[in-house]
Amino acid sequence: MNEGQTVRLRLDHLTKIFPQRGGKGNVVAVDDVTLDIYSGEFITLLGPSGCGKTTTLRLIAGFELPNQGQILLEGQDITHQPPNKRDMALVFQNYALFPHLTVYRNVAYGLETRGLPARTIRERVGEVLALVGLEGLEDRRPNQLSGGQQQRVALARCLVMQPRILLFDEPLSNLDAKLRVQMRSEIHALQRRLHITSIYVTHDQTEAMALSDRIVVMNGGRIEQVGSPPEIYRCPSTRFVADFIGRANFLPIELTARQGETAAFHLLGQSLRAPLPASGAENLVAMLRPEALMLRDDPDLPQVQIIQTMYLGSEVEYVVQHEDQRLIVVEHDPRNRRIFAEGERAGVTFVPEAVHLLGDGA
């Protein structure tokens, strides 16, 4: 996000510690997390199970209290405020709808508890049901709806409250693959239309890439990297991020010189120069995404043996052996009609601009 944008929510050195069962020490679930979330942005907390992303969301929502640190909403300290005083709304993973209430009453419930006039409730519920495509379903109960429709009700119930921040706790994980893609697109369009500050938790990298203005990659309770989807994918700051976001090949390089913030090196028969990693690591490897590698019928290129060929329609995926290392190559080029068979040999080359240097083992 650009400088000068309004910080909607600030996490300031948040730490959350849970005692282990049986009194055998403690688990640091969130470890000194500091993060600014800007007004109107869609930010995703992404990482494997146990990385601290859900605990961080629960701290923001008020369902957990930190052992250390502060949570500031537009400069106001809300660290110890109860959830109903934070002006946030949470879309749950399991929808959490009232089974005995109609769609209308589920969406209207929060407004009714606030004592708003009936006319105001009708207008706001009608607007939000139209917004999420549920017109005509007002009188149905949750068990009469599809999974996607139930998720829309859960989203509408949050939007009708007009919160300052909308929270999502893995909301698409209970949907089938096709419906997930559809709902992902709808959430993206709605958030862009409403410009509501949104914090989304998922372990699905594709979901995070498709939805987010920025992604916060977490590991072991700490933030590994914060950046836009292209920054995270193309320029990961650590080997963990590179390996977790998509797929990556890590190749040894022959370093020839370090000069300032760049390094000169040889890689797969080419002489290159690239920026050094910010970590200042001494031992370096080159990261190449599978789609940056290409196979060619060219004996002058470094040779690989095809271990596995998988034709997937829109792409061909290869596992190849180069010296003592296996690499993944993904060919997207529709002009390349040549499909290498398992057991064949081929030349390998790559897009030089796609090479990214990392500390070995970082």
Residue 206 lies in a domain: yes
Distances (CA, A) of 20 to 23, 230, 322: 6, 38, 46
Residue 177: partners with Cβ closer than 8 Å, 6 or more residues away: none
Q: Can you say how many angstroms the Cα of residue 297 is from the centroid of all Cα atoms in its chain?
A: 38
Residue 194 lies in a domain: yes
The rounded distance, in Å, linking the Cα atoms of 214 and 28 is 25
| Structure tokens that stand for 127 in this block | 């607007």
Residue 265 and residue 174 share a domain: no
pLDDT over 90 at 175, yes or no: no
The rounded distance, in Å, linking the Cα atoms of 143 and 99 is 7
Residue 334 and residue 189 share a domain: no
pLDDT digits (tens, 9 = 90+) for 191-248: 999 999 999 999 999 999 999 999 999 999 999 999 999 999 999 999 999 999 999 9
Three-class SS state of 209:
helix
Residue 89 and residue 238 share a domain: yes
pLDDT of residue 148: 87
pLDDT digits (tens, 9 = 90+) for 104-143: 999 999 999 989 999 999 999 999 999 998 999 999 999 9
Residue 152 and residue 44 share a domain: yes
pLDDT of residue 183: 87
Q: Outline where DSSP puts E strands in 20-136.
A: 26-38, 42-46, 68-73, 76-77, 88-91
Buried b (16+ CB within 10 A) or exposed e, 310-346: eeeeeebbbbbebeeeebbbbbeeeeeeeebeeeeeb
The rounded distance, in Å, linking the Cα atoms of 9 and 76 is 9
Residue 191 and residue 92 share a domain: yes
The CATH number for 31's domain is 3.40.50.300
Q: What is the mean pLDDT of residues 280-294?
A: 91
Query: What range does the domain containing 301 cover?
Result: 247-359
Strands 214-219 and 42-46: parallel
Residue 235 and residue 258 share a domain: no
Residue 251 and residue 235 share a domain: no
77-91, 164-178, 307-321: the lowest-pLDDT one: 164-178
Residue 234 and residue 123 share a domain: yes
Residue 237 and residue 289 share a domain: no
Residue 174 and residue 26 share a domain: yes
The DSSP result for 73-102, as a single string, is ETTEE-TT--GGGS-EEEE-TT----TTS-
Q: What's the pTM value of the predicted model, to 2 decimals? A: 0.90
Q: What is the mean pLDDT of residues 48-59?
A: 95
DSSP 21: G
Q: Is 238 exposed, middle or buried (0-12, 13-18, 19+ CB in 10 A)?
A: buried
The rounded distance, in Å, linking the Cα atoms of 205 and 68 is 29
Residue 254 and residue 237 share a domain: no
The rounded distance, in Å, linking the Cα atoms of 91 and 107 is 12
Nearest to 356 by CA among 180, 233, 212, 240: 233
Determine the number of helices (DSSP H) and then strands (DSSP E) in the chain: 8, 21
Residue 171 and residue 130 share a domain: yes
pLDDT of residue 3: 59
Domain termination residue (choose one: 242, 266, 283)? 242
pLDDT over 70 at 362, yes or no: no
pLDDT over 70 at 325, yes or no: yes
The CATH number for 317's domain is 2.40.50.140
Q: What is the mean pLDDT of residues 60-83?
A: 96
Residue 1 lies in a domain: no
Residue 2 lies in a domain: no
pLDDT of residue 212: 96
Q: What is the mean pLDDT of residues 174-188?
A: 87
What is the total count of domains within the chain? 2
